[in-house]
Amino acid sequence: MKSRFSLKKIFPLLLFLLLIFNKPSMAQTSIGVGLGNAYLQPVGSLHDWFSGSFNAPRLEFIFNRQSSGLWHIFATAIHFDQPNKDKLFYKDLHLDLKLYGLGVGYLSFLSRPVWGLQPFGQAEVTLFRWQALRGAYQLEERLVPERFQQGWSFAGSLGAGLLVHLTSNLKISTSINYQLVVAELWPALALHLENVSGLQMAGLHLKLQWWF
């Protein structure tokens, strides 16, 4: 039996990590903006439904930037629309998952820039509005009707990356992360489709930032 994920267990840990990452600094604070995209690879039972997706744009606003790290708020949209035909019993089953999120995170610099390169760790919390569709499917003996789900869910992510200082204002950020969305996709036993308890994904992110 698959395990259930609990908000009570996940978010105290995330809030603790955000506080740990937020080290004090005497540096002058400043702001910035960022725009990027990501490749997201489903992990765990979500991988039984979907293949990876390059459709994950993101817009972020940087604030309270200091020498030790920075805070950011962001908006993102994620779309999985390619079924994992290596895992599905019925290869032509229509599956679609969309997530629209707003979040906040903290990025902690692990060292000072060296040759314009600066490693970092980060943690984020996101509130998602999500929609999932499993299309109808005609079996020999009966028609399995489509199923639509939607809801609001929190998500947490942890990651690490490298910031490239091209100029004093222009930066490129590349990172990897693991994210868990506390949501469930219902099974369809007639289609040999098991439930997904917790939407897990690993991401490779690339962002262009402008610091004011």
Q: What pLDDT, in 10s, does the model give residues 98-137?
A: 999 999 999 999 999 899 999 999 999 999 999 999 999 9
Is 169 contained in some domain?
yes
Which residues constitute the domain of residue 153?
7-21+30-184
Q: What is the pTM of this model?
A: 0.83
Is 202 contained in some domain?
no
Amino acid found at 52: G
Q: Are 91 and 57 in contact (CB under 8 A)?
A: no
Is 212 contained in some domain?
no
- In a 13 Å sphere around the CA of 30, the CA atoms on its Cβ side amount to 12
Number of domains in the chain: 1
Is 14 contained in some domain?
yes
CA angle (40, 43, 48) in 5-degree steps: 110
Given this model, what pLDDT does residue 125 score? 97
Q: Compute the mean pLDDT over every residue in the chain, rounded to the nearest whole number.
A: 88
Is 90 contained in some domain?
yes
- Which sign, positive or negative, has the C-alpha torsion 152, 201, 7, 110? negative
Given this model, what pLDDT does residue 14 score? 52
Residues sharing a CB contact under 8 Å with residue 28, sequence separation 6 or more, in sequence order: none
Is 38 contained in some domain?
yes
Which residues in the chain come in under a pLDDT of 50?
1-8, 20-29
Given this model, what pLDDT does residue 26 score? 36
Q: Tell me the C-alpha to C-alpha distance, in Å, between residue 45 and each of 87, 137, 193.
A: 10, 21, 10
What CATH number corresponds to the domain at position 140?
2.40.160.20
Q: Tell me the C-alpha to C-alpha distance, in Å, between residue 185 and each of 103, 179, 198.
A: 22, 16, 8
